[in-house]
Amino acid sequence: MDSIFADRVTDVPRSFLREILKVALEPNMISFAGGLPSRELFPLEALKAATNKVFDTAGADVLQYANSEGFLGLREWIARRYRDQQGLDIDPEHILITNGSQQGLDLIGKTLLNDGDDVVLEAPGYLGAIQAFSLYKATFRPVRLNDDGIDLPQLSETLEAYKPKVYYAVPNFQNPSGITYEEDNRLAVAKLIQDTRTYLIEDNPYGDLRFMGTHKTSFKKLIPDNTLLLGTFSKTVVPSFRIGWIVAPPPIFDKLLIAKQASDLHTNSFAQRVVHQYLMDNDLDAHIEVIRKAYGQKRDAMIAAIRDRFPKSVHHTEPEGGMFVWLTLPEGLSAMTVFEAAIKEKVAFVPGHPFYVDREDTSTFRLNFSCMDVETIEVGIQRLGKVLHGLID
């Protein structure tokens, strides 16, 4: 029966995450397994006001079919923000609105990847990128992440050996690891990439959610011709609207636009107008400051509890932003063993192996801190600490 399918879909593994998330829903379970923004912080009233304003001012026009590029006003707003915030000079005409960053990944795969083309992937790497590029039959070339960014010797070897078309990176507060590329690491990466024909996909969903430390330079500034930049409003304004974007120079933009048109004609243009209206009528930075403060407190509580409760032999990252902490167990201890013991103690997380393309098991796992309160975080980490001490001591 399976021969009716395209080869590309038969290669994609069944979602292990689905099973995990099911377990996470059991009563009294404290789940660090999710990856959702905090629903308490969504600007519900402001979005309602923006929606009504769009209905009242723009009328039936916003209900009609629209162009594939996206609403120009929104693309201009995004370009202005890049200029004001980061000194990046981006033409609104080079911004393509997508259904969240995930569609950005899909369109890039569709536009750039032939079967078997090499894609450099961070190890651990973002699951959504693994899924999107798998469907274009990418050959992944994983490169290790260290606490200060990508492993430079391994990246250098990989670039030389495979001359990959694409290097997919989440340089700020990466999902799943929480790791940020330090400034030196970025400069070194830029130097390695700049004279190649490799495109660095700079996926930056969490960049605005920095709680501490200093802003790092975008690859779009360091190596503009080699960088495709992805952004989204999902972590700062609203996820359900699915509004993201790709910044791409003209020859690639044109092909991405053809792919976008063939994929779904255009992103919900009413939602684009509502987000634009919200941005015109509200101070996004003030709203982001509220999110930063709240997530920062959750992050601090989690890190403090980990220091307090976990065996010293368990390594944790120290994210300066975003939504995730990454844990590494002493060698030889499987995250699945910990997971099975943990769910008995009513605490859940995501074992690390789905974030690698070449492992069945790992000694790493991911904890999310964005969507529960500080007290729950402390109780959950306490439970998990007990489990870890039981297995390690």
Q: Which of residues 3-62 bind a second copy (CB under 8 A)?
A: 4-9, 12, 15, 36-37, 39-40, 42, 44, 47-48, 51-52, 55, 59-62
The separation between the first and the last C-alpha atoms of the chain, rounded to the nearest angstrom, is 50
Binding range to a second copy, per CB under 8 A, among 174-182, 219-227, 252-260, 354-362: 252-260
List residues bridging with 291 in a β-sheet: none
Angle, CA of 95, 99 and 104, to the nearest 5°: 55
The Cα-based distances of 53 to 39, 48, 209, 256, 309 in angstroms read 23, 9, 28, 32, 50
Q: For strand 118-123 and strand 166-169, is the pairing parallel, antiparallel, or unpaired?
A: parallel
Choose between 269 and 277: whose C-beta lies nearer to a second copy.
269
Rounded least distance, CB 115 to a second copy, Å: 8
Residue closer to a second copy by CB (options 101, 328) is 101
Q: Largest alpha-carbon pair distance within the chain?
A: 66
We find the least distance from the C-beta atom of residue 246 to a second copy, in angstroms, to be 13
Write down the least CB distance from residue 2 to a second copy, Å.
8
DSSP 3-state of 331: coil
Q: Tokens 């974030």 — which residue?
A: 355
Chain residues 199-218 in contact with a second copy, contact rule CB under 8 A: 199
Q: Which is nearer to a second copy, 147 or 254 (CB)?
A: 254
- Binding positions for a second copy, 76-95, rule CB under 8 A: none
> What six digits make up the tokens of 155?
């990246």
DSSP state for residue 383 in the 8-state scheme? H
- Pick the closer one to a second copy by CB: 61 or 157: 61
In whole angstroms, the minimum distance from the beta carbon of 312 to a second copy comes to 36
CB of 58 to a second copy, least distance (A): 10
Nearer to a second copy, 45 or 331 (CB): 45
Restricting to residues 125-184, name those near a second copy by CB under 8 A: 128, 131-132, 134-136, 165
Residue from 74, 271, 302, 388 touching a second copy (CB under 8 A): that is 271
Nearer to a second copy, 28 or 64 (CB): 64
The residue ranges of DSSP E strands in 64-211, in sequence order, are: 95-98, 118-123, 139-146, 149-150, 166-169, 199-203
Mapped onto helix, strand or coil, the DSSP state of residue 348 is strand
Closest separation between CB of residue 233 and a second copy, Å?
11
Q: Which residue, 176 or 385, has its beta carbon nearer to a second copy?
A: 176
Shortest gap between Cβ of 109 and a second copy (angstroms)? 8
Continuous H helices in 7-112: 7-10, 16-24, 44-58, 72-86, 100-112
User: Which residue, 159 or 335, is less far from a second copy as judged by CB?
Assistant: 159
Compare residues 181 and 199 and give the one whose CB is closer to a second copy: 199
**Distance between CA 311 and CA 318 in Å, rounded?**
16
Neighbours of 216 (CB within 10 A): 18
Single residue of 77, 270, 278, 369 touching a second copy by CB under 8 A: 270
- The per-residue b/e assignment along 144-153, b for 16 or more CB within 10 angstroms, e otherwise, is ebeeebbbbe
Q: How far apart are CA 302 and CA 374, in angstroms?
A: 8
* Site residue total, a second copy (CB under 8 A): 72
**DSSP-based three-state secondary structure for 141:** strand
Cβ atoms within 10 A of the Cβ of 172, count?
25
372: number of Cβ within 10 Å: 19
Task: Check binding of 334 to a second copy (CB under 8 A).
Answer: no
Q: Which of residues 226-245 bind a second copy (CB under 8 A)?
A: 234, 238-242
Q: Smaller CB distance to a second copy: residue 266 or 276?
A: 266
Q: State the binding string over 98-117 for a second copy (x if CB under 8 A, else -).
A: xxx-xx--x---xxxxxx-x
Chain residues 287-326 in contact with a second copy, contact rule CB under 8 A: none
Q: Residue 293 corresponds to which tokens in the numbers above?
A: 């403060």
Q: How far is the CB of 28 from a second copy (least distance, A)?
A: 21
